[in-house]
Amino acid sequence: MSTDLPATLRRLFSFLGKQYTDTQIQGLCDHLSVEKFKKNDAVNGEKLYNNIQSNLDKREFKGPQSYSRL
């Protein structure tokens, strides 16, 4: 799909019975590019990773804990 994304999108739109202009298809190709995904915080998970990492850094580990069954 990534080798010729515009052609793939045209086939998909044809299957769905939709028509889009070349400008709209190019805009969608730009939006779906891997580089955009890398920069998109909602997709790449960087904020989530940083949040988890900062919470782990704040946690104080007390060593092994023993638990007893009731």
Instruction: State yes or no: pLDDT of 70 exceeds 70.
Output: no
Query: Per residue in 2-21, pLDDT tens?
Result: 689 999 999 999 999 999 99
At 24 the pLDDT is: 96
Encode 7-24: b = buried (16+ Cβ within 10 Å), e = exposed.
Answer: eebeeeeeeeeeeeeeee
Q: Where are the domains of the chain?
A: 5-58
